[in-house]
Amino acid sequence: MHEYSIAQSMMQIVLAEAKKAKARKVVKVSLKIGDLAGIFPDSLSFCFDLLAKDTIVEGAALIIEKVPLRGYCPHCNKVFLIKDNQYLCQHCGNLNIELTTGRELQIDHLEIEDEAN
Amino acid sequence: MKQIEIKKDILSAHEMLAQENRELFERKGTFVLNLMSSPGAGKTTLLERTIELLKDTFSLAVIEGDIATSYDAERISSLGVKVVQINTGGACHLDSAMIKNALAEFSADRLDVLIIENVGNLVCPAEFNLGEDAKVMILSVTEGEDKPFKYPLMFRIARVLIINKVDLLPYIDCSTKRIIRDAISLNPDLKIFEMSCTKKIGLNLWKEWLKEEINKKKYKIIAR
């Protein structure tokens, strides 16, 4: 439901970065979205297309790479996947783990056509 | 075609404003709560009870977030507390920019406590930091015991869980044991209170916790 606000913030960054890079057109926007982030990709794409209209981003492909949820246990010094809401160390059962990945809402990179081509 | 690396958080602009809010609250010694729950879990009733518990001891104010109407703001201001209403006009959550704008209304006030009532929603508000000290989520027992695993982000980021409407437990099929077990497995540091805000059950422990946190924040500026 908050995909529209996320898409708006995303578009601001994309337009600013594209301008900095002197882009004529943005061809691809590549995102990293963590599994724990409450984002529905189809809905994000829909809002993105809507906001891209009549800008240099119109028609750009939105590529969403999902990032799995991973935890780190300071006792075992190990990183592991978290599945089925098992927020504990898979090796020693410690509950006090840190999430290392899975909450990403990140623009990873853009593909642009610049003034040279 | 050219590829450019960005590696930037989409919410970084929001995060910066949240940090500005946080610094302002630090300077003023104001303890800030962000109340979140589904619609109808009892946020506004918890707010009314909390105001009654604190208003003789502390100076407090409220920011009310709703998609539309000022019903809640009217309920709160009848208790004699300053309240600023934010109507999000459709948005499903409050963000740090809305809070920053609302804070202008309090610029002259010395506040011990600011309570922000978020828009009723268990998904979206979890993603947006406002600059608060504690995210407080309210789950009413009538919503069902399966909610922690259905909304893991909310339970993971909350500092406090209030299990509300416990007076209704004899009439429904819900185990608070399971709620607590699942919530703790998502977030072992979660502070949990079981309450009925309408029947005024379990309010004392909540009051004690609040007083301690408010004083901690308040005296931090004096100690500096």
The mean pLDDT of A10-35, rounded to a whole number, is: 96
Q: What is the CA radius of gyration of chain A?
A: 18
Structure tokens at A100: 């290392």
B2, B10, B93: residue with CB nearest A9: B10
Which chain A residues contact residue B128 at CB under 8 A? 2
Tens digit of each residue's pLDDT (9 = 90 or more) over A24-81: 999 999 999 999 998 889 999 999 999 999 999 999 999 999 999 999 999 999 999 9
Q: What is the pLDDT of residues B16-57, one digit of tens each?
A: 999 999 999 999 999 999 999 999 999 999 999 999 999 999
Cβ atoms within 10 Å of B68's Cβ, excluding its own: 9
Class of domain A3-68+102-114: alpha beta
Q: What is the ipTM of this complex?
A: 0.90
Cβ–Cβ under 8 Å, residues A100 and B4 = no
> Is B156's CB within 8 Å of A36's CB?
yes
CB pairs A-B closer than 8 Å: 102
Q: How far apart are CA B2 and CA B153, in angstroms?
A: 36
Q: The domain B12-223: what is its CATH number? A: 3.40.50.300
- Chain B residue with CA closest to A35: the answer is B153
pLDDT score for B8: 95
Long-range contacts of A46-50 (CB under 8 A, 24+ apart): A46/A3, A47/A3, A47/A4, A47/A6, A47/A7, A47/A8, A48/A7, A48/A10, A48/A11, A50/A7
Average pLDDT over residues B112-141: 96
Instruction: Please tell me the number of Cα atoms within 13 Å of B24 on its side-chain side.
Output: 23
CA atoms within 13 A on the CB side of B60: 28
Q: How far apart are CA A30 and CA B185, in angstroms?
A: 33
- Which residues, in sequence order, are CB contacts of A83 under 8 Å at separation 6+? none
Contact B138, A16 (CB under 8 A): no
The whole-model pTM stands at 0.92
B184 vs B71 pLDDT, higher one: B184
The per-residue pLDDT for B222 is 74
C-alpha angle with apex B141: B122 to B195, nearest 5 degrees? Answer: 100
Residues 6+ apart with CB under 8 A from A52: A11, A58, A59, A60
Q: Can you give the residue ranges of every domain in chain A?
A: 3-68+102-114
Contact B9, B18 (CB under 8 A): no
Cβ proximity of B133 and B32 under 8 Å: yes
Q: Which residue of B has its CA nearest to A115?
A: B1
Which residue from A minimizes the CA distance to B123? Answer: A38
Give B95's contacts (C-beta < 8 A, 6+ positions apart).
A5, B14, B17, B128, B130
Q: Using pLDDT thresholds of 50, 70 and 90, give the confidence band for residue B63.
A: very high
Q: Do A17 and B6 touch (CB under 8 A)?
A: yes
Nearest to A105 among B1, B11, B152 (CB): B11
| Cβ within 8 Å of A, B 93-122 | 93, 95, 121
Interchain contact, A85 vs B95, CB within 8 Å: no
pLDDT digits (tens, 9 = 90+) for B84-93: 999 888 778 9
Q: Smallest CA–CA separation between A18 and chain B, in Å? A: 9
* Per-domain residue ranges of chain B: 12-223
Query: Taking CA atoms, what residue in A is nearest to B149?
Result: A85
Q: How far apart, in Å, do the first and last CA atoms of chain A sit?
A: 38
